[in-house]
Amino acid sequence: MLTRRAAVSLLAGCLTLAASSLPVVAQNVEKLKVVATFSILGDMVRNVGGERVEVTTLVGPNGDAHVYSPTPADGRRLSEAKVVFTNGLKFEGWIDRLVKSSGTKAVKVEAAKGIKTLSGEDNHHAHDHGGADPHAWQNIGNAKIYVANIRDALIAADAAGKTVYEANASSYLNRLDGLDAEVKGLVAKIPPERRKLITSHDAFRYFEAAYGIDFVSPQGVSTESEASAKDVARIIQQIRREKITAVFVENVSDARLMERIAQETGARIGERVYSDALSNENGPAATYIDMMRHNIRAFSAALSS
């Protein structure tokens, strides 16, 4: 028969055992569930969140967030999330209604917060509906601000992961610095008078401001509006006048317009570029870094040759 003292010490032993097994249990806790509105942003969140975070992306690879129609499943994903990352700058015109209807208590974080915006009206043509140009990630300097915002939001939502998020963000920021230098190096090799090209929708204004290649587009900053006949005629004239040799189609745009422009001007259609969405996993732009590298190589190949 156990003495009272032995029973107490046995109980204490069990408690110690239970306590010592706690950290193991803690490592298996559920990951922080977060939602990112589109694939480029989802990749950045994954890089900062690492193993601690489960990221769901609403608009997937090759998807067009300008004109997305949310599904009931998206509402459920939002309601389960602790943080919702958006680009902001009215890129996702559908997100506020979706957040409201989902009833989610998630914190909403605009990744582009704090960047120096370019106005949609700064464009070389005037049919855009004003407001800020949302494609800020096309400048790697802005992507670094996105990453800092993501890091801070993850720390606020999951303080226990602070050191992990800081370390992940720091190594990712270093890689972005390397990427920025790589892009600048390739632009520097293109003869200055050739640094001009055509893309179908106006998604590269931040790239232009940061890296010094001029972009001309028949379509505005959103894929919602179609290019008018007048815009197309104006661009065809400009291509002929300035002897622009390359036109590009983005993965979120309809290729037909550019095919017509290429046919009428003799400009070549360059490799497909990625503006608003990543490629699928096996494609050339499966991550943000791969996307920026693929695009500058495509531009450089067309303009240097």
The residue ranges that bind Zn ion (CB under 5 A) are 203, 276
Give whole-number Cα distances, 84 to 73, 104, 153, 190, 202, in Å: 15, 9, 10, 40, 26
| Nearer to Zn ion among residue 164 and residue 278 (C-beta) | 278
Say if strands 32-38 and 53-59 run parallel, antiparallel, or are unpaired.
Answer: parallel
| Nearer to Zn ion among residue 158 and residue 231 (C-beta) | 231
User: Residue 177: what residue type?
Assistant: D
Closest CB 275 distance from Zn ion, rounded Å: 6
| Nearer to Zn ion among residue 203 and residue 273 (C-beta) | 203
| Nearer to Zn ion among residue 203 and residue 258 (C-beta) | 203
Closest CB 304 distance from Zn ion, rounded Å: 26
User: Could you give the 3-state DSSP secondary structure of residue 91?
Assistant: coil
Closest CB 86 distance from Zn ion, rounded Å: 15
Closest CB 174 distance from Zn ion, rounded Å: 28
Closest CB 204 distance from Zn ion, rounded Å: 9
Distance CA 274, CA 7 (A): 69
Closest CB 232 distance from Zn ion, rounded Å: 18
Q: Which residues contact 213 (CB under 8 A, 6 or more apart)?
A: 187, 190, 195, 196, 197, 204, 207, 299, 303
| Nearer to Zn ion among residue 68 and residue 165 (C-beta) | 68
Whether 252 contacts 275, CB under 8 Å? yes
Q: How far apart are the first and last CA of the chain?
A: 92
| Nearer to Zn ion among residue 203 and residue 289 (C-beta) | 203
Closest CB 255 distance from Zn ion, rounded Å: 16
Residue 243's nearest CA partner among 271, 212, 265 is 265
Distance CA 151, CA 158 (A): 10
User: Could you give the 3-state DSSP secondary structure of residue 270?
Assistant: coil
Residue 224 corresponds to which tokens in the numbers above? Answer: 């919602």
| Nearer to Zn ion among residue 43 and residue 276 (C-beta) | 276
